[in-house]
C-alpha cells in the first residue's frame, strides 16, 4: 500500500498528533490549543471563561461603533481660533452615556459617600465635602439666580436635569465610584459575593468597601479584608475553584471614564446614520442632519433641536409653541437623539472630556484613539510582594489650586505610583511617566534645545521659557492651620494653558449656535466649575469592533 506522507504530516500537524485526522475540525473550546490540557479542569487547572460571547452593555450606556472621521472644523471659522484644524482620525468602538450625568445620578453618589464615610468622623471630614458640586456657580453680580443656587442640585423638580458645578477632577472621581458600584452588583448577580452586600456596606454592617482594582489584584483585601465572610452562592456550593472572579472570568467590566475628545466628537457628529460623501468628509455641521437648528420634519416643523442661547437676552425664544422649552438647562431627553442614540450632544450643557488642552491636535504623532493626557502609573508593591492597599482608616487628600480639598484615594483602594526611568528603559513607545506635554511645541520639544538650555539652571533662576507656562497659584497652611492663598503675580506668565487645563466640548444653554458644532473646542482649568459644564461617562469596548456586522443596504 502506498502511503501519502504529505497527508499524514498534515493530519498530525492539525490535530497535535493526539487524536487522529477525524478530529481535525476541533474548536478547542475547552481544550488548550497549546498543550492539549483541559481548561477549567478542577483544582490546579487553568480557569478561563470559554463561554464568553461579548461585552455586556453597562447601565446608562449605548454602543458606539468605531470608525474613521474628520476631526476638527471644516466649516468657515469666523472666530479664527485655528485650534481645530481638520485631521483624519480613527476611533475604536466604545460605549457612552446616552444622556449627561443627571442630578439624581450624582446625588446617589453623594448619598453613598455620606453613609460610608460620615463627615462627622475626623478622618473622613473632607471626603463628602470634596465631592459636592459648587452650587454658587449660578450666582451673578447683576442677576437674581438664588432659586437655582438653593434648589437645582437637590430638588426633585430638577432630578433629571444635567448636574453642573462639577469640576473635571470630581467628574473623574464619580466615574471611578460608578465603576466600583456596577462591578460590585455584577459580582452579586454572578454569586461571587452574597446578595445585599452593597447595602450592608452603606448601613455600616461591613467595615470595608469594594474596589475593582483591589478585588482583581488582591481579592482577600476587598471589603477591608472581610471578603471571605461575604462569599456568595459559589462558595456555598463548595466551588473552591471559582471563589473569586478574575479578569479571565469575563464578569468584571472595564471602568467608566470621561470620553476622550476624539471619542466625544466622533459620537456627537454621528456620521454612521448618513453616508453622504460630504458628511463622511466632515461637512456635517451639527449632530443632526441639515444646516439649521430647527426641525424640518413635517410633524415637528420649526421646533428647536437643541437648548442654546438664541440671541442677546434670548435664552429660549418667545413663550409658546416656538419656544425651545428651556431657559437654563433642560431635562435630559427633551430633544431628539442623534443617530447613535445620544441625547444633547449639542446644547443643554457643555461637557468635560478627558484631554489636556493644546491648540494643535498632533495627528503626525498619532491618528488612532488620539488622546493627550497620559500619565503612566504602576501598582505600588509591598516588600513581601503583595499589592499596596490603603487601610480602611486611611485617606489620601489633595488640595486643589482653588483651595478645595478632595479625597485623592479612598480607603481600600490600590495605591498607584508613577513609573520610573527603569520601567521605561529602552521602550520605543514611551520614555517617562508624564506625557501631557509631549510634542506640544514648548521649548523642550524643540530640536536641539538641550545644546543651548539647561532646564534645571533655568528653574533655579526663575527663568520659565516654556511655551505653556500658565499661572501657578500657591496654597499653604500656616501654623494655626489656616489656609493661605496666594495668587501667582509673576509677569513671566504668557498663557493660561497648562498641564491641568482640560478640554470641554459642545454648546450649552449659555452659548450661541456657533458652539453647537461638535468640532468646537474650549478649555478650562480642571479644578474650576461653571453653571454650563456637565459631563457624561464612556467605557472602552473589549473584543470585536461591532456586535454584529451590518448588512449592506439593498439597491
DSSP codes, 218-246: -GGGHHHHTGGGGB-HHHHTT-GGGSS--
pLDDT at position 81 over 80: no
pLDDT at position 22 over 60: no
> What's phi and psi for 94, nearest 5 deg?
-155, -175
C-alpha cell at 84: 481645530
> Using CA atoms in the order 146, 150, 156, 157, what is the torsion angle rounded to 10 degrees?
0
CB 223, CB 230: distance < 8 Å:
yes
Enumerate domains of the chain plus CATH numbers.
54-192+245-370+505-554 (3.90.1580.10), 437-498 (no CATH)
Question: What is the C-alpha R_g of the chain?
Answer: 27
C-alpha cell at 137: 456657580
pLDDT > 70: percent of the chain:
84
Q: What per-residue confidence (pLDDT) applies to 300?
A: 75
pLDDT at position 370 over 60: yes
Q: Which of 57-71, 128-142, 400-414, 474-488 has the lowest mean pLDDT?
A: 474-488
DSSP H or E segment with residue 540: strand 538-540
d(CA 262, CA 354): 10
Q: What per-residue confidence (pLDDT) applies to 17?
A: 45
pTM (predicted TM-score): 0.89
330 to each of 100, 415, 532, how far by Cα in Å? 11, 40, 11
Query: Average of pLDDT values for 15-40?
Result: 68
- Please state whether beta strands 350-356 and 533-534 pair in parallel, antiparallel, or not at all (unpaired): parallel
Q: What per-residue confidence (pLDDT) applies to 294?
A: 81
d(CA 277, CA 353): 28
Select the more confidently predicted residue: 446 or 350.
Answer: 350
Q: What per-residue confidence (pLDDT) applies to 549?
A: 62
How crowded is the C-beta side of 84, counted as CA atoms within 13 Å? Answer: 26
Neighbours of 335 (CB within 10 A): 25
Of 227, 257, 237, 525, the residue nearest 400 (C-alpha): 525
Amino acid at each position: 500500500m502506498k502511503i501519502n506522507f504529505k497527508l499524514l504530516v498534515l493530519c498530525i500537524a492539525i490535530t497535535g498528533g493526539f487524536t487522529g485526522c477525524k478530529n481535525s475540525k476541533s474548536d478547542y473550546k475547552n481544550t488548550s490549543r497549546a498543550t492539549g490540557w483541559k481548561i477549567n479542569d478542577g483544582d490546579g487547572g487553568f480557569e478561563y471563561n470559554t463561554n464568553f460571547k461579548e461585552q455586556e452593555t453597562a447601565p446608562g450606556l449605548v454602543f458606539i461603533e468605531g470608525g474613521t472621521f474628520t476631526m476638527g472644523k471644516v466649516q468657515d471659522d469666523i472666530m479664527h481660533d485655528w485650534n481645530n484644524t481638520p485631521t483624519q482620525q480613527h476611533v475604536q468602538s466604545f460605549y457612552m452615556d446616552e444622556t449627561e450625568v443627571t442630578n439624581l445620578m450624582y446625588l446617589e453618589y453623594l448619598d453613598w459617600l455620606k453613609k460610608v464615610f460620615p463627615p462627622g468622623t475626623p478622618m473622613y471630614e473632607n471626603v463628602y465635602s470634596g465631592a459636592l458640586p459648587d452650587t454658587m456657580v449660578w450666582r451673578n453680580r447683576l442677576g437674581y439666580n438664588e432659586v437655582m443656587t438653593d434648589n437645582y442640585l437637590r430638588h426633585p423638580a430638577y432630578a433629571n436635569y444635567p448636574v453642573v458645578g462639577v469640576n473635571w477632577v470630581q467628574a473623574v472621581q464619580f466615574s471611578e465610584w460608578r465603576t466600583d458600584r456596577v462591578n460590585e452588583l455584577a459580582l452579586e448577580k454572578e454569586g461571587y459575593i452574597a446578595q445585599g452586600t452593597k447595602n450592608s456596606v452603606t448601613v455600616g454592617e461591613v467595615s470595608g468597601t469594594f474596589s475593582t482594582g483591589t478585588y482583581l489584584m488582591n481579592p482577600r483585601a476587598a471589603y477591608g479584608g472581610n471578603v471571605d465572610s461575604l462569599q456568595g452562592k459559589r462558595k456555598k456550593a463548595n466551588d473552591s475553584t471559582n471563589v473569586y472572579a478574575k479578569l479571565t472570568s469575563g464578569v468584571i467590566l472595564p471602568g467608566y471614564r470621561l470620553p476622550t475628545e476624539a471619542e466625544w466628537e466622533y459620537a456627537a457628529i454621528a456620521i454612521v446614520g448618513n453616508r453622504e460623501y460630504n458628511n463622511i468628509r466632515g461637512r456635517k455641521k451639527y449632530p443632526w442632519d441639515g444646516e439649521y437648528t430647527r426641525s424640518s420634519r413635517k410633524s415637528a416643523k420649526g421646533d428647536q433641536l437643541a437648548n442654546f442661547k438664541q440671541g442677546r437676552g434670548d435664552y429660549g425664544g418667545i413663550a409658546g409653541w416656538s419656544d425651545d422649552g428651556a431657559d437654563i438647562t433642560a431635562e435630559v431627553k427633551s430633544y431628539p437623539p442623534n443617530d447613535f442614540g445620544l441625547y444633547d450632544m449639542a446644547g443643554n450643557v457643555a461637557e468635560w472630556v478627558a484631554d489636556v488642552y493644546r491648540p494643535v491636535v498632533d495627528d503626525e504623532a498619532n491618528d488612532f484613539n488620539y488622546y493627550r493626557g497620559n500619565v503612566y502609573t504602576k501598582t505600588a508593591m509591598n516588600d513581601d510582594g503583595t499589592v499596596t492597599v490603603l487601610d480602611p482608616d486611611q485617606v489620601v487628600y489633595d488640595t486643589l489650586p482653588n483651595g478645595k480639598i478632595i479625597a485623592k484615594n479612598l480607603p481600600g483602594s490600590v495605591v498607584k505610583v508613577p513609573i520610573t526611568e527603569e520601567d521605561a528603559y529602552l521602550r520605543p513607545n514611551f520614555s517617562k511617566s508624564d506625557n501631557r506635554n509631549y510634542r506640544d511645541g514648548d521649548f523642550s520639544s524643540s530640536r536641539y534645545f538641550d545644546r543651548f538650555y539647561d532646564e534645571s539652571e533655568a528653574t533655579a533662576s526663575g527663568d520659565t521659557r516654556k511655551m505653556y507656562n500658565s499661572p501657578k497659584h500657591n496654597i499653604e497652611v500656616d501654623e494655626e492651620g489656616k489656609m493661605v492663598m496666594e495668587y501667582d503675580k509673576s509677569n513671566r506668565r504668557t498663557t493660561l494653558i497648562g498641564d491641568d487645563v482640560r478640554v470641554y466640548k459642545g454648546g450649552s444653554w449659555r452659548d450661541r449656535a456657533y458652539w453647537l458644532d461638535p468640532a468646537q473646542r474650549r478649555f478650562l482649568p480642571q479644578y474650576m466649575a461653571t453653571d454650563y459644564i456637565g459631563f457624561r461617562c464612556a467605557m472602552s469596548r473589549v473584543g470585536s469592533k461591532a456586535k454584529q456586522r451590518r448588512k449592506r443596504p439593498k439597491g
